[in-house]
Amino acid sequence: MDMHRKQFVQRLIHLLNIVGTVATIIFIVWAWRNGLLIDKVAFLRFMGHFGIAAPLMFVVIQFIQTVVPVIPGSITIPLGVYMFGNVWGFIWNLMPIFLGSIFNFYLARKYGRSLVHMLVGDKYYNKALSWLDDRSGFKRVLILGLILPFMPADVICYVAGLTNLSLSRFVQVLAVGKPITILIYSYSTIFLVELVSKWI
pLDDT at residue 200 tops 60: no
Band of pLDDT at residue 134, cut at 50, 70 and 90: low
Question: Could you give the CA distance from residue 124 to residue 129 in angstroms, rounded to a whole number?
Answer: 9
What are the respective helix, strand and coil percentages of the chain, to the nearest 5?
85, 0, 15
Band of pLDDT at residue 130, cut at 50, 70 and 90: confident
pLDDT tens for residues 137-195? Answer: 677 777 777 777 667 788 888 888 888 888 998 998 889 888 888 888 777 766 665 66
Band of pLDDT at residue 82, cut at 50, 70 and 90: confident
Instruction: With CA atoms as reference, report the closest residue to 32 among 92, 79, 77, 65.
Output: 79
If you write DSSP's letter for every residue of 142-182 in order, what string do you get? Answer: HHHHTTSTTS-HHHHHHHHHHSS--HHHHHHHHHHHHHHHH
Report the percentage of the chain scoring pLDDT > 90: 10
In the 8-state DSSP scheme, what is residue 37?
Answer: T
Positive or negative torsion for Cα 143, 146, 152, 157: positive
Question: Could you give the CA distance from residue 136 to residue 127 in angstroms, rounded to a whole number?
Answer: 15
Question: Could you give the CA distance from residue 28 to residue 114 in angstroms, rounded to a whole number?
Answer: 36
Question: Could you give the CA distance from residue 163 to residue 68 in angstroms, rounded to a whole number?
Answer: 20
Band of pLDDT at residue 96, cut at 50, 70 and 90: very high
Count other Cβ atoms within 10 Å, centred on residue 36.
20
Q: Quick check: 126 and 155 in contact, CB under 8 A?
A: no
Positive or negative torsion for Cα 146, 134, 13, 67: negative
Please tell me the pTM assigned to this model: 0.76
